[in-house]
Structure formats: structure tokens, C-alpha cells
Amino acid sequence: MRTILLSLAFLAVTAASAQKTYQNPVINRSLPDPTVLRVGKLYYLYSTEDIRNTPIYVSRNLVNWSYVGTCFTEETRPKMVPGGGIWAPDINKIGNRYVLYYSKSTWGGEWECGIGVAVSVSPRGPFTDKGKLFISSEIGVQNSIDPFYFEEEDGRKFLFWGSFRGIYGIELSDDGLSIKEGAEKQQIAGTLTEGTCIYKHNGYYYLIGSAGSCCEGIKSTYRMVVARSENLFGPYVNRAGQSAMNNNFVQLLNKSSKFVGVGHCSEVVQDDAGQDWLLYHGYEVADPDGGRKVFLDKIIWNESGWPTIKNRMPSETAEAPLIGEEADVEELPAEAQGYDISPRAVTDSFCIRALQEQAFSWQVVDLHGKVWKNGKAQKAVTVNTRDLPMGLYVVTLNSKQGQTSQKILRK
């Protein structure tokens, strides 16, 4: 009976998502080092602060994303390292709080950088900084950045980190806000990688990392690699049984002719059909100044139990994640950042108004990527929707302040 119910649920999800595709990048803006958490029907994404104070995006389907704000303000941003940036956040829910681990660093400050933690009662923040967990010089690991939280089935909590100076792990306190008393760090991989992600699948722990140069535009050599172990702290090995401590991994993803510098993935996230997905950053060759945009690809598990991505390259167009019935419009963010869009459940028309009265361009796109309407406006515009088929649409807005988007429902 349980098998029948699961099959019916899968068919329902498949029917709701039939024939839908997406195009990479899924966020056409520089959002390096993404981290993702599902909360109810929504996915929340956070990234290195190319948008200052750590941006937050939200999506119903892992494809269409809306900017909803930042984790911090100028007054609340972490101060544990003077100056520097907030890099490579890692979002988790621990107990009834949302816990954000982050790196604070300056380029070249490999002994002065470190990892801190902040908390919030909501995935949309605001986050309250709880200060440092450790600085590189204190814990004895050069370039202590790129945190990744992992919780075992028995409730024990661990933090993994490191960037081209070895990958390390250590046990955390029960609330995840400090190092467990008496815990000692342990190295699990060599000097090839950074951007650690660990995922448990069918009895193995898979260690995904990024190798190469991350940040040289379309000259970047970033790529993703993977090793696995039967134990959380290793030994991790490649398919030939060679040790990750000696920098032996299996290639997971590399560049294509259109996308380069692909790496630093999020946590593995699942859709409603149980398929595994990775979000990661990369450069678009056609937009060399566009920064590290966000890409999405599905993990395929081969017969040997190793994760693969089709062709080991970023997809250009692919089948979208299988998400159940589209979210009610009321569950989505009420306002696109910097704009008022009303009504959001429309019949004849809706109005877009820039809250700061700036000039902007706009377009209305369906969930298959087809552009139905577009134009330019100064301060405000009314959009006629009588000729739109019923369904959900994305209104994308561009101005000098950047890009944002919001869903509307044509009913």
C-alpha cells in the first residue's frame, strides 16, 4: 500500500511539472558560493556578499528566484575581522533557530580570517551575530574559511572547513554555536579543494569540493570533484581507492564552451520526487563582467553509487525539478525589492511602481521562459493582462540598482 501511495504521489508531482524546463544560469546575477535551505514549500538561498551584508533569495521551484533582503545591516554585520567581507555562508536549521555560519576574511589574510555564526527565528532574518567560532591563528589552520555544517542521525553536530590548506572537521556543541568542549580538529582531505559539502547517500559520505581558481573571470579554472567514505571523518577515497588526503578525487563537474569557473556548490537539496540537485556558481563566457552567477544541475547516481552530472558540464537547458502543485501566490514574497506590484492575483491588469521613482525595464515571463510582455517605464506602469493565459508568471525588473523579480497569478 505504501508503494502505491508513493507511486501516486510521484505521478502527481510529475503531472504538475510535465514538460517544464529551465535555462542556466537560474540567477543572472553575481551570487558566489550559494547555500540553500528548504523551509516548508520554499527554498532560501544565501551567498557571498557581492550584494553587501549577505543577500537572501527565495524560490518555490529552485528555478525562479526573488531577492528578499539581506541577513545583516551596516550596524549588525559581523565585526570579528576588521574590514574584509562576509564569504561563503552556510545556512541550517538547528532546533527552532536558523543558524548561519560564515567566513570573514580579506584577500591574503589567511591567518587573520575565521569563521563565525549568526542566528535568526526566520530564514528571512534579521540575523543576530554571535561572533567568532575561531580565527585561523587560534585553531592552527591557515585560510580557515568556507564552513559546512553536518549533523549525524544521532544528533551530533560537526563543522567542516578549509581552503587549499587542508580540509578539517570538528565537533560542535549541542546548539551548534560553539566548539564542543574538549573537541579536537581532524583533517579529512588534502590541499586540492575548498568549498566543502558532505552528503550521505546509501551508506556512504560523499565529500564534494572545488579545485582550481575561483575568481579570475572567464579565465577561472574552478571545477567540482568528489571522494567518498564509509565514515564521516574518512578515509575518503576516489574510485581507485586512492586517498583524498593525497588530493585524489573523481571529477564531478567542469567547464563548457559557454560556462566556466563552475564550483563551490550548495548543500544537496531534493525536489518533491526525491531527486538530488546542486546549485553552484560560475561565469558566463558571453557576459565576462557579469560575475559568478548561480547555476542548477541534477545529480545522477550511477550503478557504482557515485554522483555524476550529465556530461560533467553545466546544462544549458534541462528538465526542471519536480515540484508539486505550484505555491499559492499568497505564500510568495509580498513585494519585489524596491517595487510595489499590485494586485498580484490579477484579471485585467496590474501596476508596477518603483518605490524610489527610478527608471526601469520590465518583462512578464511564463514558467517555461517565454516572454509575453516587456517594456520600459519611468516611476510606474500599468500592464494589461487580458491576453495572458491563466497561470503563474514572473515579472522581472531591471534598473541601475540591479535586477529583481516577483511572481503574479493570472486568474
34 domain residue, yes or no: yes
Residue 337: what pLDDT? 63
Q: Which helix (H) or strand (E) holds 138?
A: helix 136-139
Q: Are 204 and 179 in contact (CB under 8 A)?
A: no
Query: Looking at the structure, do residues 220 and 264 belong to the same domain, yes or no?
Result: yes
Query: Looking at the structure, do residues 262 and 368 belong to the same domain, yes or no?
Result: no
CATH number of the domain that residue 124 is part of: 2.115.10.20
Query: Across residues 248-254, what is the average pLDDT?
Result: 98
Q: Are 308 and 371 in contact (CB under 8 A)?
A: no
Cβ-based neighbour number of residue 268 at 10 Å: 19
Residue 340: what pLDDT? 80
CA pair distance 61, 212, nearest whole angstrom: 30
Q: Percent of the chain at pLDDT above 90? A: 74
**320 DSSP assignment:** P
- Categorize the per-residue pLDDT at 243 as very low, low, confident or very high, splitting at 50, 70 and 90: very high
Q: Are 166 and 207 in contact (CB under 8 A)?
A: no
CATH number of the domain that residue 356 is part of: 2.60.40.3080
Query: Looking at the structure, do residues 149 and 103 belong to the same domain, yes or no?
Result: yes
- Categorize the per-residue pLDDT at 411 as very low, low, confident or very high, splitting at 50, 70 and 90: confident
Q: Which residues contact 39 (CB under 8 A, 6 or more apart)?
A: 93, 123
Domain total in the chain:
2
63 domain residue, yes or no: yes
- Categorize the per-residue pLDDT at 309 as very low, low, confident or very high, splitting at 50, 70 and 90: very high
For residue 244, pLDDT over 60 is answered with yes
Residue 75: what pLDDT? 95
Query: Looking at the structure, do residues 193 and 45 belong to the same domain, yes or no?
Result: yes
Listed range (77-81, 95-99, 132-136, 379-383) with the worst mean pLDDT: 379-383
Residue 279: what pLDDT? 98
Question: pLDDT per residue over 182-233, tens digit each?
Answer: 999 999 999 999 999 999 999 999 999 999 999 999 999 999 999 999 999 9
Question: pLDDT per residue over 341-366, tens digit each?
Answer: 888 888 889 888 887 777 889 999 88
264 domain residue, yes or no: yes
Query: Looking at the structure, do residues 95 and 214 belong to the same domain, yes or no?
Result: yes
Query: Looking at the structure, do residues 84 and 214 belong to the same domain, yes or no?
Result: yes
SS3 category, 9: helix
Residue 183: what pLDDT? 98
325 domain residue, yes or no: no
Residue 401: what pLDDT? 65
Q: What are the grid coordinates assigned to 117, written together?
A: 555564526
Q: Which helix (H) or strand (E) holds 6?
A: helix 2-17
CA pair distance 236, 55, nearest whole angstrom: 33
Query: Looking at the structure, do residues 340 and 191 belong to the same domain, yes or no?
Result: no
324 domain residue, yes or no: no
For residue 9, pLDDT over 60 is answered with no
19 domain residue, yes or no: yes
For residue 317, pLDDT over 50 is answered with yes
Q: What domain range includes position 341?
A: 330-410
- Categorize the per-residue pLDDT at 2 as very low, low, confident or very high, splitting at 50, 70 and 90: very low
- Categorize the per-residue pLDDT at 336 as very low, low, confident or very high, splitting at 50, 70 and 90: low
Residue 327: what pLDDT? 38
337 domain residue, yes or no: yes
Cβ-based neighbour number of residue 200 at 10 Å: 14
- Categorize the per-residue pLDDT at 262 as very low, low, confident or very high, splitting at 50, 70 and 90: very high
Question: pLDDT per residue over 33-83, tens digit each?
Answer: 999 999 999 999 999 999 999 999 999 999 999 999 999 999 999 999 988
Residue 141: what pLDDT? 98
Query: Across residues 7-34, what is the average pLDDT?
Result: 69
E strands in 40-152: 42-46, 55-59, 65-70, 85-94, 97-105, 114-120, 128-135, 148-151
Query: Looking at the structure, do residues 36 and 119 belong to the same domain, yes or no?
Result: yes
Query: Looking at the structure, do residues 357 and 308 belong to the same domain, yes or no?
Result: no
Give the closest residue to 143 by CA, choosing from 186, 182, 113. 113
Query: Looking at the structure, do residues 124 and 97 belong to the same domain, yes or no?
Result: yes
Residues in the chain: 411
Burial profile 363-392: b = 16 or more Cβ within 10 angstroms, e = fewer: bbbebeeeeeeeeebeeeeebebeebeeeb
111 domain residue, yes or no: yes
Positive or negative torsion for Cα 287, 252, 321, 340: negative
Residue type for 18, please? A
Confirm whether pTM is higher than 0.85: no
Q: Are 30 and 292 in contact (CB under 8 A)?
A: yes
Residue matched to cell numbers 504538475: 16
Q: Percent of the chain at pLDDT above 70? A: 91
Query: Looking at the structure, do residues 191 and 269 belong to the same domain, yes or no?
Result: yes
Q: Which residues contact 103 (CB under 8 A, 6 or more apart)?
A: 86, 87, 88, 89, 113, 114, 115, 144, 145, 146, 147
For residue 12, pLDDT over 70 is answered with no
Query: Looking at the structure, do residues 312 and 336 belong to the same domain, yes or no?
Result: no
For residue 134, pLDDT over 90 is answered with yes
Last residue of a domain, one of 285, 319, 353: 319
Query: Across residues 310-325, what is the average pLDDT?
Result: 91
**316 DSSP assignment:** S
Helices marked H in 206-269: none
Q: How far is CA 87 from CA 53, 102, 105, 194, 344, in A?
A: 10, 6, 7, 12, 35
